[in-house]
Amino acid sequence: MNCNTPTDIVFSFTGFATRGGGTADHHDGWGIAFFEGVGVRLFVDHEPAVASPVAALIKSYPIKSKNVIAHIRKATQGEVALENCHPFVRELWGRYWVFAHNGDVPAFQPELDGPYRPVGNTDSERAFCYLLQQLRQRFGDQRPTLLVLTQALQELAAQIAVHGTFNMMLSDGSALFVHCSTQLHYVIRQYPFSTAQLSDQDMIVDFSQVTDRSDRVAVIVTAPLTQNENWIALQPGQFMVFIDGCPLPHAA
Amino acid sequence: MNCNTPTDIVFSFTGFATRGGGTADHHDGWGIAFFEGVGVRLFVDHEPAVASPVAALIKSYPIKSKNVIAHIRKATQGEVALENCHPFVRELWGRYWVFAHNGDVPAFQPELDGPYRPVGNTDSERAFCYLLQQLRQRFGDQRPTLLVLTQALQELAAQIAVHGTFNMMLSDGSALFVHCSTQLHYVIRQYPFSTAQLSDQDMIVDFSQVTDRSDRVAVIVTAPLTQNENWIALQPGQFMVFIDGCPLPHAA
């Protein structure tokens, strides 16, 4: 989720978490990271999201954030363990970077000779460490402009995606970068707001009752979360950047 | 807390969290990190610990861990914000490192030219980044032996402590390193276990009912948490390492 004003994710997370062992078989852990300014709250659990007391907290306690990345895991590479739960977090250029991946890239075995090493044994964390290593190699100690950064990430994501399936999300709290390898959808919720019905649970929300006119929220997800909203499918190979709830045109 | 078997911290955390706006004025946020194997669960909140729904979760949900670092903050340097809440986490040598600091070292302004940069604006996070930078500079890509690592950390902690007050705890999940600048106490709970009475709340636990004979737990804290246990005060300048609930003799 990427928004122009701090927004809680209780509604979307409720539908999403149901897929963690409920309406879908992604039961090998889950995680969610909320940016609050430059700070991050990260919750990870190797229990299925439907059964996790930590997930229950998130569904009941509205944490407001402009950038949220959540993940429910179906282990394909790496065992079921806390250190293998997405999202992963590292620091680069004095900002936290949060990363989640759907798919697998087992054949991607880059040399990691920089300061970022995987703690667990997933191909996903390895790919994340590689991304950050390459950013540091290219740009040294200074974060480049958004445009230059976006081009670099797009190029790196395409490079990794050659080795398998690389649907991914990445954020440093100022923007949300996404790459679609096979499946990714987004919806923009903005004025005039309407009512949405979760696909995975009997839950409806009337966004016009809980928003201001100027609010804008982008939700990006593997498969659409609601039945009656205008979800747009990304194309294979497509890279997008969301800022303030808006897709950046140059990257669309 | 450092133990030889995964142990929950519900009892000690209940007393400790009361000091976050209850029996003491440390009300500017709090945090707790639990190692589970090499994975870490980090909970941080800029709400006072006594009022935080996340703290309520921790008091009711027994997360078992061999290494836990918790902190309640009284802001001296850096504003009240999520990114300034301890503990801080970074990755080095493919392991997460968790750090918390009590005291302040405002005059310590080292050059940070390695890969670790503070995200917030506390002197504590700056000192932590410096510690990791120096470890990487000295030992490169390979973690040294525990003895060599301990000597390096002891030396670095003493160097930082010159600039102010540096009571600190650091763990990579395999050991807990502590440095006492002004105030730090520890207790070892082991067979035969007895009953302990919290100092900050009306709560008693009979450890003999909830432990096995072989369990051993070290609790290290600024001020003793219980009234009737044998808390040992560290000396100013003392550096200690705890492994499996035991202080290492060579570092005592």
- Asked if B53 and A57 come within 8 Å (Cβ–Cβ), the reply is yes
Quick one: what percent of chain B has pLDDT higher than 90?
Answer: 67
Minimal CA–CA distance to A200: which of A232, A233, A173, A225?
A: A225
DSSP single-letter state for residue A233: E
Q: Does residue B120 belong to the interface with chain A, where contact is any CB pair within 8 Å?
A: yes
Predicted confidence at residue B229, as pLDDT, reads 93
Question: How far B119 CA lies from chain A's nearest CA (Å)?
Answer: 5
The partner residue sitting opposite B90, judged by closest CB among A61, A91, A93, is A91
Contact list, A95 vs chain B (CB under 8 Å): 119
- Asked if residue B66 lies in contact with residue B4, where contact means CB atoms within 8 angstroms, the answer is yes
- Asked if A136 and B115 come within 8 Å (Cβ–Cβ), the reply is yes
Phi, psi of B87 (to 5 degrees): -75, 160
- Count: domains in chain A: 1
Q: Does residue A244 belong to the interface with chain B, where contact is any CB pair within 8 Å?
A: no
Q: Does residue B95 belong to the interface with chain A, where contact is any CB pair within 8 Å?
A: yes
- Residues 58-77 of chain B whose Cβ lies under 8 A from any Cβ of chain A: 61
- Asked if B119 and A96 come within 8 Å (Cβ–Cβ), the reply is yes
Q: In angstroms, rounded to a whole number, what is the distance separating the alpha carbons of residues A94 and A37?
A: 13
pLDDT over 70 at B252, yes or no: no
The partner residue sitting opposite B119, judged by closest CB among A38, A45, A82, is A38
Q: What is the DSSP string of A94-114?
A: TEEEEEEEES--TT------S
CATH code of residue A183: 3.60.20.10
Question: Which sign does the torsion angle of CA B70, B73, B78, B79 carry?
Answer: positive
* Both tokens assigned to B121: 């604006």
Domain interval for residue B43: 2-251
Q: Does residue A212 belong to the interface with chain B, where contact is any CB pair within 8 Å?
A: no
Q: In angstroms, rounded to a whole number, what is the distance separating the alpha carbons of residues B61 and A190?
A: 38
pLDDT over 60 at A149, yes or no: yes
Contact list, B43 vs chain A (CB under 8 Å): 41, 43
Q: Does residue B33 belong to the interface with chain A, where contact is any CB pair within 8 Å?
A: no
Q: Does residue A142 belong to the interface with chain B, where contact is any CB pair within 8 Å?
A: no
DSSP single-letter state for residue B192: S
Question: How far B191 CA lies from chain A's nearest CA (Å)?
Answer: 30
Q: What is the DSSP string of A18-49?
A: HTBTTSSB--S-EEEEEEETTEEEEEEESS-G
In chain B, which residue's Cα lies nearest the Cα of A83?
Answer: B39
Say if residue A250 is exposed, middle or buried (CB neighbours under 10 Å; 0-12, 13-18, 19+): exposed
Residue A45 CB partners (closer than 8 Å, separation 6+): A29, A30, A31, A52, A54, A55, A82, A85, B41
The mean pLDDT value of chain B amounts to 91
* Both tokens assigned to B74: 């009284």
- Asked if residue B217 lies in contact with residue B3, where contact means CB atoms within 8 angstroms, the answer is yes
Structure confidence at residue B251 as a pLDDT band (50, 70, 90): very low
Predicted confidence at residue A245, as pLDDT, reads 97
Q: Does residue A240 belong to the interface with chain B, where contact is any CB pair within 8 Å?
A: no
- Asked if residue A207 lies in contact with residue A191, where contact means CB atoms within 8 angstroms, the answer is no
Structure confidence at residue A250 as a pLDDT band (50, 70, 90): low
pLDDT over 50 at A207, yes or no: yes
Judged by average pLDDT, the poorest of A19-23, A46-50, A243-247, B192-196 is A19-23
Q: Which residue has the tokens 């300014």?
A: A37
The residues with which A119 forms a beta bridge, in sequence order, are: none
B170-216 per-position pLDDT tens digit: 999 999 999 999 999 999 999 999 898 888 888 888 888 888 899 99
Q: Does residue A225 belong to the interface with chain B, where contact is any CB pair within 8 Å?
A: no
The partner residue sitting opposite B39, judged by closest CB among A81, A93, A141, is A81
The mean pLDDT value of chain A amounts to 91
The partner residue sitting opposite A117, judged by closest CB among B40, B41, B94, is B94
